[in-house]
């Protein structure tokens, strides 16, 4: 099916149907379907597969419903197929639902008497025919030829979408705005309207799409993992954000004065902390939630928002140590400490330094780290993004002595970004680094915490999510993976400026925490941890804190 979907002609629709034959008629049935493919010109894109032992035959065809010839041939094929399958004494449906495509032919298959009995039953329970009209009981003999949706050609990366909907399960916005399938369907509908000259409605769709398709897309790429064609619908939002990003001049100034920007962030968090101490953090969250609801612009401040991090970074070198690592601590972790609600309020840098000290690993921070960013925050601004990536690459190359030493990044989203843009460097996510380099040099004693593990979406995409679970299992016998969502939807700054996305995505987390009796959550994304802690009702911290708590230097 993915082969058919990915290689079909542009503008065609993947139609999947199934019929069933008695075993003795099975080969004749396949020959009949093959004959129909040739007769109605569906050899290109026509595929037969199924379950031979059950007499079950699936088939795909790919008609172009914008082409009158294809549309007529499709209708003729369905009609003749239904007649000939019934002639074999077969079933017009094997395991899929009946649907409007074969509804007019059910009476032919089952006979008038059986059909009339079902019609009367339907009339008793649904006299006004508002429940699934025409899906099985119909008075319209041509319903199978109506409302056929033509697939307008859009961008090559998305026009191959079959609209199967497999992607929807993983999408954090599926219960808020749109799923990936729906985002692509809306692009097609907008294109159709433009092709017909209906620009007024098309422009209305484009305007609404800004929130429904762009602002509330977490760009986590979790949809790609479930898509049979590996379509990354996140690229729609990412490309649209680059077309006309807000305040490009301001983005340049922020990067030019990056250390000052982080200091302003620390000051803002400190002021918020003072206010929270006076009227409670819960009240601050309630007030900012109300303001955000009114303005749609002012940020929401979660109850778990961390305090400012003023820890001074300096290299940690000992002549007796075995190895060295270059540690790039990301801007979010340099600006903020651990989320409120957890007893250990050391900065993440202090915790990593503690672990490396136990493992006898020297820590080297890149020069002028206060001015460095992986570039993810500036992804919509091509010039600034390119500068940020180059500056960090040059600093890491120098600190690692041209790649001699491994590099660790302490936020998974930033790690993913650097990993993609700096393939010539050995860059590790914090969980991977701890597993490979630190754990072998520690003695670990398990604690009694019941730990729930958050696998950040960006390490899932890279196939590196097992490391954080491995670390948790080294520290506790009671470890559970989050199952209620694939991505928490905090998505960097969206947890502050589009908080509804995170709240909807994690709406079942509290009940999952209660089900497991979890007492601590671990993650590798400090921003995600803010939303997870608020929704889950327990502290969510970097997995490094748990490992440091449970470990000693190996004797």
- What span, in angstroms and rounded, lies between the C-alpha atoms of 25 and 22? 5
Closest CA to 138 of 93, 113, 192, 101: 101
pLDDT the model gives residue 269: 78
313 within some domain: no
Query: pLDDT-derived band of residue 285, with 50, 70 and 90 as boundaries?
Result: confident
In a domain, 427, yes or no: no
Position 273 scores a pLDDT of 65
User: Residue 465's domain is classified under what CATH number?
Assistant: 3.40.50
Confidence of residue 4 (pLDDT cuts 50, 70, 90): confident
**pLDDT of 458 higher than 70:** yes
Place of tokens 């909807």: 504
What is the pLDDT at residue 248? 84
3-state helix, strand, coil in the chain (%, to 5): 50, 10, 35
Q: How far is CA 293 from CA 111, 174, 216, 272, 497, in A?
A: 59, 21, 15, 19, 10
User: Which residue range forms the structural domain that includes residue 233?
Assistant: 156-243
Does position 280 have pLDDT exceeding 90, yes or no?
no
* Domain-located, residue 273: no
pLDDT at 288: 85
What is the rounded average pLDDT for all residues in the chain? 94
- At 295 the pLDDT is 86
CA nearest to 488, candidates 464, 470, 512: 512
Is 496 a domain residue?
yes
Residue 181 shares a structural domain with residue 137: no
Contact 335, 538 (CB under 8 A): no
Take residue 31 and report the two structure tokens written for it. 């020959």
CATH number of the domain to which 56 belongs: 3.30.70.2740
Last residue in a domain, options 243, 263, 280:
243
Interior angle at CA 57, CA 53 and CA 58, nearest 5: 135
Question: What average pLDDT does this structure show over 519-547?
Answer: 97
State whether 12 and 131 are in the same domain. Answer: yes
Q: Mark whether 10 and 61 lie in a shared domain.
A: yes
Of 211, 243, 275, which residue is a domain's last?
A: 243
pLDDT at residue number 244:
81
Does residue 136 contact residue 98 with C-beta atoms inside 8 Å? yes
- Tens-place pLDDT, residues 212-224: 999 999 999 999 9
**How many other CB atoms are there within 10 angstroms of residue 297's CB atom?**
8
pLDDT for the residue numbered 75: 97
Is residue 333 included in any domain, yes or no?
no
23 and 130: one domain? yes
CB distance 86 to 105 below 8 Å:
yes
Helix (H, G, I), strand (E, B) or coil at 262: helix
Type and span of the H or E element at 261? helix 258-279
Cβ atoms < 10 Å from Cβ of 272: 17
Domain stop point among 102, 118, 145: 145
- C-alpha to C-alpha distance for 9 and 41, rounded to whole angstroms: 14
Whole-number Cα distances in Å, 531 to 162, 298, 449, 508, 547:
34, 17, 21, 13, 22
| Location of structure tokens 């996305």 | 501
Encoded tokens for 109: 């298959």
The contacts of residue 250 (CB under 8 Å, 6+ apart) are none
Closest-CA residue to 103 (of 148, 147, 136, 74): 136
Q: Judge contact between 98 and 135, C-beta under 8 A.
A: yes
44 vs 515, more confident = 515
Biggest distance spanned by C-alpha atoms of the chain: 92
pLDDT at 274: 66
The answer, yes or no, to whether residue 95 has pLDDT greater than 90, is no
The verdict on residue 166 lying in a domain is yes
Structure tokens at 231: 């379509």
* Spatial contact of 508 and 484, defined as CB atoms under 8 Å apart: yes
The confidence score (pLDDT) of residue 276 equals 65
Confidence check: pLDDT of 114 > 70:
yes
Count CB neighbours of 246 within 10 A: 9
CB 328 within 8 A of CB 392: yes
Q: What is the band of 296 on the pLDDT scale with cuts at 50, 70, 90?
A: confident
Please give the Cα distance from 501 to 176 (Å, whole number).
7
Q: Are 449 and 478 in contact (CB under 8 A)?
A: yes
Residue 243: partners with Cβ closer than 8 Å, 6 or more residues away: none
Asked if residue 70 and residue 119 are part of one domain, the reply reads yes
> With 90 as the cut, is the pLDDT of residue 245 above it?
no
Helix 258-279 / helix 248-256 crossing angle, nearest 10 deg: 90
Q: What number is the average pLDDT over the span 225-248?
A: 91
- The residue-averaged pLDDT of 78-101 equals 92
> For 215, which DSSP code?
I
Per-residue tokens: 33 = 């379907």
* Total tally of structural domains belonging to the chain: 3
DSSP classification of residue 128: T
pLDDT in tens, 123-177: 999 999 999 999 999 999 999 999 998 899 999 999 999 999 999 999 999 999 9
- Within-domain flag for 262: no
Using 50, 70 and 90 to split pLDDT, how confident is the model at 232? very high
Strands 520-523 and 476-481: unpaired
Residues 162 and 52 in one domain: no
Query: pLDDT tens, 298-336?
Result: 889 898 988 899 999 999 999 999 899 999 999 999 999
DSSP assignments along 468-488, one per residue: HHHHHHHHEEEEEE--S-S--
486 shares its domain with 513: yes
- The verdict on 71 and 188 lying in the same domain is no
**Of the given ranges (234-248, 390-404, 475-489, 512-526), which has the lowest mean pLDDT?**
234-248
Instruction: Kindly state whether residues 166 and 234 are assigned to the same domain.
Output: yes
Mind spelling out the 3-state secondary structure of 403-433?
A: CCCCEEECCHHHHHHHHHHCCCCCEEEHHHH
- The more confidently predicted of residues 284 and 437 is 437
* Residue 277, pLDDT above cutoff 70: no
Do 10 and 131 lie in one domain? The reply is yes
Tell me: do 79 and 195 sit in the same domain. no
Answer whether residue 457 is part of any domain: yes
DSSP label at 367? T
Residues 205 and 130 in one domain: no
Beta strands in 277-411 (DSSP E): 323-328, 361-364, 407-409
Instruction: Please tell me the predicted confidence (pLDDT) of residue 266.
Output: 87
């Amino acid at each position: 099916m993915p082969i058919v979907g990915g290689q079909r002609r542009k503008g065609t629709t993947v139609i999947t149907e199934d019929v069933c034959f008695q075993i003795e008629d099975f080969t004749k049935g396949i020959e009949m379907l093959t004959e129909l493919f040739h007769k109605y010109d569906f050899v290109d894109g026509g595929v037969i597969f199924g379950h031979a032992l059950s007499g079950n035959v699936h088939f795909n065809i790919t008609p172009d419903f914008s082409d009158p010839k294809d549309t007529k041939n499709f209708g003729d094929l369905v009609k003749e197929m239904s007649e000939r399958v019934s002639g074999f004494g077969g079933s017009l449906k094997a395991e899929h639902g009946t649907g409007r495509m074969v509804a007019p032919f059910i009476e032919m298959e089952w006979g008038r008497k059986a059909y009339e009995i079902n019609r009367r039953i339907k009339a008793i329970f649904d006299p006004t025919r508002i429940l699934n009209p025409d899906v099985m009981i119909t008075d319209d003999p041509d319903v199978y030829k109506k409302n056929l949706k033509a697939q307008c050609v859009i961008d090559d990366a998305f026009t191959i979408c079959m609209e199967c909907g497999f992607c929807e399960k993983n999408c954090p916005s599926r219960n808020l705005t749109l799923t990936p399938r729906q985002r692509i369907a809306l692009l097609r509908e907008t294109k159709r309207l433009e092709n017909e000259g209906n620009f007024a409605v098309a422009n209305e769709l484009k305007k609404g799409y800004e929130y429904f398709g762009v602002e509330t897309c977490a760009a986590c790429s979790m949809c790609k993992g479930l898509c049979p064609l590996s379509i990354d619908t996140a690229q729609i939002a990412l490309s649209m954000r680059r077309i006309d990003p807000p305040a490009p001049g301001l983005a340049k100034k922020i990067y030019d004065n990056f250390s000052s920007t982080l200091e302003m962030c620390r000051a803002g968090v400190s002021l918020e902390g003072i206010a929270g101490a006076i009227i409670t953090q819960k009240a601050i969250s309630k007030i900012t939630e109300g303001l955000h609801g009114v303005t749609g612009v002012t940020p929401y401040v979660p109850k778990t928002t961390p305090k400012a991090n003023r820890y001074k970074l300096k290299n940690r070198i000992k002549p007796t140590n075995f190895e060295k690592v270059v540690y790039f601590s990301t801007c979010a972790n340099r600006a903020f400490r651990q989320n409120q609600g957890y007893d250990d309020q050391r900065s993440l840098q202090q915790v990593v330094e503690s672990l490396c000290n136990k493992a006898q690993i020297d820590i080297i921070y890149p020069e002028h780290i206060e001015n460095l960013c992986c570039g993810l925050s500036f992804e919509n601004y091509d010039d600034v993004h390119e500068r940020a990536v180059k500056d960090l690459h040059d600093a890491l190359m120098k600190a690692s002595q041209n790649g001699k030493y491994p590099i660790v990044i302490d936020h998974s989203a930033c790690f993913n970004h650097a990993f993609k843009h700096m393939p010539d460097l050995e860059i590790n996510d914090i969980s991977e680094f701890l597993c490979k380099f630190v754990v072998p040099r520690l003695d670990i004693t398990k604690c009694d915490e019941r730990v729930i593990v958050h696998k950040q979406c960006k390490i899932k995409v890279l196939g590196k999510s097992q490391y954080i679970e491995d670390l948790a299992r080294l520290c506790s016998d009671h470890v559970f993976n989050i199952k209620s969502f694939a991505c928490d939807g905090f998505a960097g700054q969206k947890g502050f400026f589009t908080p509804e996305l995170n709240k909807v995505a994690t709406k079942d987390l509290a009940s999952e925490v209660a089900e497991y009796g979890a007492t601590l959550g671990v993650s590798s994304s400090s921003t995600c941890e803010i939303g997870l802690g608020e929704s889950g009702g327990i502290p969510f911290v970097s997995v490094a804190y748990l490992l440091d708590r449970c470990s000693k230097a190996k004797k």
